[in-house]
Amino acid sequence: MPRLEEHCWRRSCTSRVESKNYYRENWVASKAEEMMSIITSVLSNVYGSLHSVQTANLIRRGLVLFTVGVFLALVLNLLQVQRNVTLFPEEVMATLFSSAWWIPPCCGTAAAVVGLLYPCIDSHLGEPHKFKREWASVMRCIAVFVGINHASAKLDFANNVQLSLTLAALSLGLWWTFDRSRSGFGLGIGTAFLATVITQLLVYNGVYQYTYPDFLYVRSWLPCIFFSGGVTAGNIGRQLAMVTHYHNATLTIHENRK
């Protein structure tokens, strides 16, 4: 009985969490997500071992992060695409998917990796992240991240140095406001560095190019965006991990009781 109750509770909680995250996900994705969660919960029921529950949680968290990443990539890419838009919806859809198809999945995967890496590193370092651990703060973080992108796309700066410096300050402010952990900072820097190098390589090999490259082959504000993106994804990932961790703890108690 307690297990059943627990199961129901966990299901409802996670589905709630998920639904909060998929505001505008398309139907197929959410359905697939639902199917996945059903499958994983069935699996966890069958095996009943804590291990499989953890795996299922991992998968679910990864999926959530992936969808968030894809969604943000689409929207933010749209911000970067020129605003010379006509009135016809076909055109809009064209601009929405105008960039290469592999960009959103890549961003989604990156978000999932980073978002799973953060809580993992936290637990390995043995210093769980306690600062502002609530969904409201996470939402605030996402909003600031989108705002940084918005600023980089729409504001007219005098020169690129100014733009990059501003964005760097904003990214640091984001980290200070919502993270404040050494591991978060390190991981953010690492993400930014890796992503910038990868972009450089891609551009160097001619996969695509930037309009006005000013930092070797890419824009100089790119690392700042990657840094704040990493921090944001980590924030989401930590919040998700906290929810599931809490569930695991209660589940353990229940199993012990039995």
Partner 1 sequence: MTVRERLREKISAAFYRHGLLCASYPVPIILFTSASILACCYPLLRLPLPGTGPVEFTTRVRDYTVPSHEPQGDLGEQPDWYRGPPVAYIQPVLVKAAVSPWDSTLVPVDVFRSPLGRVFSLLEEIRNHVHDDGSLEALCLQVTDLLPGLRRMQRVLPEHGCLLVSPGNYWQNQRELFDSDPDLLKTVHQHEPKGLHTSATLRDLLFGVPVKHTGVSLYSRKRVVTYTITMVLGSYDARFLSSLRARLRQLHPSVNCSLREDHMVHVHFKEEIGMAELIPLVTTYIILFAYIYFSTRKIDMVKSKWGLALAAVVTVLSSLLMSVGLCTLFGLTPTLNGGEIFPYLVVVIGLENVLVLTKSVVSTPVDLEVKLRIAQGLSNESWSIMKNMATELCIILIGYFTLVPAIQEFCLFAVVGLVSDFFLQMFFFTTVLSIDIRRMELADLNRRLPAEAGMPLPKPGPLRPREAPPPPRPSPHTITLQTPAFRNLRLPKRLRVVYFLARTRLAQRFIMVGTVIWIGILAYTDPAGLRTYLAAQVSEQSPLGDGGAGGLPPHLGVAPVFPGPGGDPVGTLSVLPAPAEPTPLPENQSQGHHGAPGEGVPLVPQISWGAEDEEGWRRLSFRHWPSLFSYYNITLAKRYISILPVIPITLHLSPREAIETRHPQDTRHPPPPSLKTNDLPADLTLYKVAALGLAAGVLLVLLLFCLYRVLCSRNYGQNGVAHGRRRRGDLPCDDYGYSPPISEISPLLLCGHSMDIECLASDGMLLASCCLAGQIRVWDTQTGDCLTVIPKHGLRRSSSSGCWEQRDGWDAVGVAEPENLGGGTEPGGGVFDEGEGYPLRRRTTPRPALFENQPDLTPLIDTNFDSQPPSHLLLTPPRDGFDFGGLVEKAYLEHEPPSPGLTLRGNLIAAGRSNGKLEVRPNPESTPLHHGKRGGSHNEKAGNNICKRRVSLWDAVEGSLRCSNEDGVSGITALAFLNNRIVAARLDGSLDFFTVDINKPLGLLQYRGPPGRSNMPPSPCYSSEDVISCQLTRSVQCAHQKPITVLRAAAGRVVTGSQDHTVRVYRLEDSCCLFTLQGHSGGITAIYIDQTMVLASGGQDGAICLWDVLTGSRVSHVYGHRGDVTSLVCTTSCVISSGLDDLICIWDRSTGIKLYSIQQEVGCGASLGVISESLLVTGGQGCVSFWDLNFGDLLQTVYLGQSSDGQGVRQLVVLNNAAIVCDFGSELSLVYVPSVLEKLD
Is 258 a binding residue for partner 1 by CB under 8 A? The answer is no
Residue numbers 12-41 binding partner 1 by CB under 8 A: 20, 23-24
Closest distance between partner 1 and the C-beta of residue 135, in Å? 4
Is 81 a binding residue for partner 1 by CB under 8 A? The answer is yes
Is 9 a binding residue for partner 1 by CB under 8 A? The answer is yes
Q: Which is nearer to partner 1, 73 or 117 (CB)?
A: 73
**How many residues in the shown chain lie near partner 1 by CB under 8 A?**
50
Contacts 24+ apart (CB under 8 A), 191-197: 191/110, 191/114, 191/226, 191/227, 191/229, 191/230, 192/223, 192/224, 192/226, 192/227, 192/230, 193/223, 195/110, 195/222, 195/223, 195/226, 196/222, 196/223, 196/226
Q: Which is nearer to partner 1, 80 or 109 (CB)?
A: 80
Q: Which of 27, 86, 102, 124 binds partner 1 (CB under 8 A)?
A: 86
Amino acid occupying residue 135: W
Is 124 a binding residue for partner 1 by CB under 8 A? The answer is no
Cβ-contact 65, 230 below 8 angstroms: no
| Rg value, the chain, Cα | 20
Q: Which of 39, 50, 100, 155 binds partner 1 (CB under 8 A)?
A: 155
Is 59 a binding residue for partner 1 by CB under 8 A? The answer is no
Is 166 a binding residue for partner 1 by CB under 8 A? The answer is yes
Q: Which of 34, 134, 201, 208 binds partner 1 (CB under 8 A)?
A: 134
Q: Going by C-beta distance under 8 Å and a sequence separation of 6 or more, which residues neighbour residue 148?
A: 167, 170, 171, 174, 224, 225, 228
Q: Which of 133, 140, 245, 247 binds partner 1 (CB under 8 A)?
A: 140
C-alpha span between 201 and 204 (Å, rounded): 5
Is 75 a binding residue for partner 1 by CB under 8 A? The answer is yes
Q: Going by C-beta distance under 8 Å and a sequence separation of 6 or more, which residues neighbour residue 54?
A: 248
* Residues within the interface to partner 1 (CB under 8 A): 1, 5, 9, 20, 23-24, 75-76, 78-79, 81, 83, 85-92, 95-96, 134-136, 138-140, 142-144, 146-147, 150-151, 154-158, 162, 165-166, 169-170, 173, 177, 253, 256-257
